[in-house]
Amino acid sequence: MSDTTFAPVAVPAPIPVGEILPWAIFGGLLMLIVLYFVGTEEGAMALFNGMYVHEFVHDGRHLLGFPCH
């Protein structure tokens, strides 16, 4: 009597680029918008009046290494 076990080999399915590309573009644009608000939303480049956005992302600026004061 032999002691063999059946071990099926799993073949990975290819990932279709056409399904991932729109999500990758959306994620990239979202990251650029967040990077703008954290990095440059103050002073001359500000889209909004006041320092509300700057104060909201102030700790994130320090965490990412952006100088602000």
Residue 57: burial class (beta carbons within 10 Å; 0-12, 13-18, 19+): buried
pLDDT number for residue 54: 75
**What pLDDT is stored for residue 59 in this prediction?**
82
Q: What is the pLDDT of residue 7?
A: 74
Question: Which two tokens mark 49?
Answer: 């009046």
pLDDT band at 51 (very low <50, low <70, confident <90, very high): confident
pTM of structure? 0.61
Share of residues in the chain with pLDDT > 90 (%): 19
Q: What 3-state DSSP class applies to 15?
A: coil
Q: For residues 6 and 10, what is the distance between their CA atoms, to the nearest angstrom?
A: 12
The pLDDT value recorded for residue 55 is 79
Higher pLDDT, 26 or 39: 26
How far apart, in whole angstroms, are the C-alpha atoms of residue 65 and residue 61? 6
